[in-house]
Structures are given as structure tokens and as C-alpha cells.
Structure 1
Amino acid sequence: MHRSDIVQPEVAPLPAETIRLPERGYSVNRRKALVAAIACWIGWAVMVWLVTQGKTGDFDRSGLLLARFGPDFAFDGPNWIQEAVRDTTALGGVFLSTLATIGAVVALLFLKLRREAVLFASSVFLGWMLNNTMKALVGRERPEIVPHLTIADGASFPSGHSFASAMIYIGMALAFASMSKRHSVRYTLVGSAMVISAMIAWSRVLLGVHFPSDVVAGWLGGAGWAFLAAALLHKPAKSAAESEAAEHLDPTSETHRQKRAMRH
């Protein structure tokens, strides 16, 4: 049996030259992004003040005990829910969030959205530096009120999972929103990213490794940075994307293909 006999297309495939990539129908409204960023950063500043002044004790304790019961503070729920919480929190971990970032950048490049790829990659890199700086400045210890249901180390405030998930998934949604001119599609993408990142953030509390104030501040900081980067890094990213260096590094560019053909 020939390979061609195994899988047969139902219709004739389109010639390569007839396929068109989607146009860049949307450039983020930088004024709206800046307003969203300011709102998030104001909330973040409030949380920093409350934490450093020791005013979140009742809020933090209530949040940590919300899903615990008994004298040993065991998780209140069936095993599959606990496993689902662990799966959710993994989406904000270094390994999976890095894979998601790399995959998104590669996809944006192949979709000829080089400006969005540069903007997204640079915002994630700078965001990680920003979050680590905030952790070092505050230096809060992790909660010991309830048993930890996953391994966690380092400073507690702000939550790195919360910051990273908001920064990466909201930033990713803003980048891919450029493929649609419809407001409903763009708002659905960004809204879904906000919900998913909020779920990742709260999973850290359910696992007992972060105070609620850690994840609120982390999520606000990550979301604020994603919107701020979209508003302020747009022009630098555009200039970098149009540079000769980016042309040579982009695996989808004509220059890159010509150089590869010459080597072979």
C-alpha cells in the first residue's frame, strides 16, 4: 500500500500561492491600555502598602482557611479537585509558561506579526526582571498557617505564578488580538486570558503556598505590566521588528530563506 493510499484529501489542496495570511487588523488602543495599566498599578500599590503595614492579616488568614477543615487543616474537597488545582497552578510555573511564551513568539513570527512577537517577547523578559526586583524589595516569608500542597520556595510577595500568568497570558491575548478587526473577538481573547490567569493566581492560595494578598498583588502587577508594555513599548518594538537584525533572525523572512538556500 502506497502512502498516498492511506490518507486522501476530500477536496483538492489549495496551491501555496493562493493562501493568504490574516492581515494585521488591530493595533492595541494605547490610551485604553494605559488606563487599564494605571488602574492595575494603583491596586498593586495599595496592596503593597497594606502588606508592608501589616493590615492584611484577617484577609490572608480567611483566604487560606477557606478550603481547609479539621485540626490538621486538610484540603476540603475530593482528590480530583486538588489535582485540578495543581494542574491549574502548573500553567503559571516557569516551565510551562516559558514553553507558552516561546510557542506564541514562534507562531506570531510565522503569522508575519513580527512587531507583536518582538513586543510580547520583550515585555515578558522585562516583566520577569520587574517581578524578581519586587520580591527582593519586600522579602515576605511564605505562609505557614496551613500545610503546603506543593513545593514552593523563595519570597512570597508578590506571587510569581500570579504575576507571570497575568503578564504572559494577557500579553499573549493582546498580541494575537491583532489578527481580528472585531471588538468582540479581541475582548473575548483578553477577557479569557484574565480569567485563566486569575484562576492560576487563586490556585496558589488553595495550595497554601501564598497569602491572598500575594496573589492579588501579583496578578495586578502582571496585568498592569502587560497593558503598560502594550501602551509604551509599541513604537520601540515596531522599530526593532523592522530592523535589519530582526530580518536576518526571523526564520520566516525572505532574507533568512535565501541565506539558508545558499548554504544548501
Structure 2
Amino acid sequence: MSCAALAFCFVRIADEMVEGETRAFDERILLALRDPADLKRPIGPAWLETAMVDLTGLGGVPTLTLITALVVIYLLVARRFGNAALVALSISGGAILTSVLKIGFARPRPEVVDHLVAVQSLSFPSGHAMASAVVYLTLGALLARTERRRAVRGYIFAVAGFLTLLIGVTRVFLGVHYPTDVLAGWTLGAAWALLCWLVARWLRPRDNETEQPA
């Protein structure tokens, strides 16, 4: 799927959300994930809630910032300056875009169910969903470029995609995002990551020229 197609999906989701067409769908999903007798309790065993709280941290600012910093430092040490700049700019740019969109749409957090983790920012699009897509898919694309075997590249992309999807699901399960918040974050984050991957391909010969033997 191209950047344009993913961006179009985001625009359609945003348009439907602004018009209120997604509210019934969003609330139905949120309520389906709670005990009908007590909306403060999610469905499933107690350990599932604990696991979701832990896993959602994989898309949090501290975790993604640490991962990004470590990768950028590695690329600088390896003298892959183009890729280092690409990672830093793409991920910081994605974070800025998310913040701007949240302020622009100003969608409040869900109120139909209790939040199982503390949140402070606005709801649309999901910052966790978008940031995880940007970070994990961008890094997955850069890592996959170093592999010649198709099976290994496929595994790398599968892991990046799985982490992105998992983090988005945790946000809905924990009641802090509507499903359409997450869908919007996924589509726009994937579009941004794909754009960065295309730039990385363009930079490849230039980046190789900067590499020097130790």
C-alpha cells in the first residue's frame, strides 16, 4: 500500500470521526472489552490486564525515545550518517505531527469506560499507535535493508508490524483510546514510515560512500 493510499485512509477515518459517524462503532468495541456487570473491569483473567499495562509501555515516549537514541548512536558510530539523520528526523517529525494533529482535532478521551492507565493528552490520533508505527516500521525497514535473504526480511517486517498492532490493541483494551484513534494512528504512522523507507533507499548509495574502514 502506497503512502498516498495510507494517507487517504487516515483522511477518511478523520472525516468520519469529525462527523460523528464512528461513535457507535467506537463505543461498541470499548464496551465489548469490559465486564457488562462492572465496566471498570476488562474482560478476561486478571493477568491479562497486567500484561496489557506492561505491553502498552512499548509504545510510550520513554521506551521509544531510548530505542531511537540507541539506534542513532549506533549509526553514528558505524559512520552511517545519512541513516542516523533519517532515523532522528523521521521519528522526531512523526512526534511533532502527532502533537499537531491531536491539538487540531481536539478529540477528548473515551468516557464510556474507565481508563486503566493514566492519560493526559487528547485522543485523536493515538500517539502510541502512530509513534510505534513510525519507530518500529522505520527501524524494521532500515534493518531489513541489511539482509539479503527474503525470509529474514519478512521476519523483521513481521515483528515490526506485530509490535505496532499489539501496542494499538492495548490502548483500546485499556480504555484510553477509541478504535478509530488507533486506526488513524496506524495508517498515518505507516504512511510516514513508508515515506522514510523510500528516502532511505534513495540515501543508500550516499550513505555507503560515507562509510570508512576502521
TM-score in terms of structure 2 length: 0.90
Q: How far apart are the structure 2 equivalents of 1:69 and 1:93?
A: 27
Give percent identity, aligned residues only: 34
- Greater Cα shift, 111-120 or 199-208: 111-120
8 Å CA contact 2:82–2:203 kept in 1: the answer is no
Equivalent position to 1:191, from 158, 172, 177: 158
8 Å CA contact 2:80–2:208 kept in 1: the answer is no
- How many correspondences in the alignment? 213
User: In structure 2, the residue corresponding to 1:179 is in which secondary structure?
Assistant: coil
8 Å CA contact 2:13–2:180 kept in 1: the answer is yes
Equivalent position to 1:75, from 21, 34, 42: 42
Matched, 1:201 2:168: yes
Offset of residue 111 of structure 1:
4.4
Q: How far apart are the structure 2 equivalents of 1:217 and 1:185?
A: 29
Matched, 1:52 2:30: no
Offset of residue 70 of structure 1:
3.0
User: In structure 2, the residue corresponding to 1:180 is in which secondary structure?
Assistant: coil
Q: How far apart are the structure 2 equivalents of 1:79 and 1:63?
A: 20
User: In structure 2, the residue corresponding to 1:209 is in which secondary structure?
Assistant: coil
The alignment yields a C-alpha RMSD, in angstroms, of: 2.4
Equivalent position to 1:101, from 53, 56, 68: 68
Show the counterpart of 2:122. 155
Distance change >3 Å, CA 102–CA 233, structure 1 → 2:
same
TM-score in terms of structure 1 length: 0.74
8 Å CA contact 1:115–1:238 kept in 2: the answer is no
Distance change >3 Å, CA 79–CA 105, structure 1 → 2:
same
User: In structure 1, the residue corresponding to 2:112 is in which secondary structure?
Assistant: coil
Show the counterpart of 1:169. 136
Higher alpha-carbon Rg: 1
8 Å CA contact 2:142–2:200 kept in 1: the answer is no
The superposition leaves residues 148-174 of structure 1 with CA deviations (integer Å, 9 ceiling, x where unpaired) of: 100001110000000000100000101
Offset of residue 53 of structure 1:
1.0
Distance change >3 Å, CA 238–CA 141, structure 1 → 2:
farther
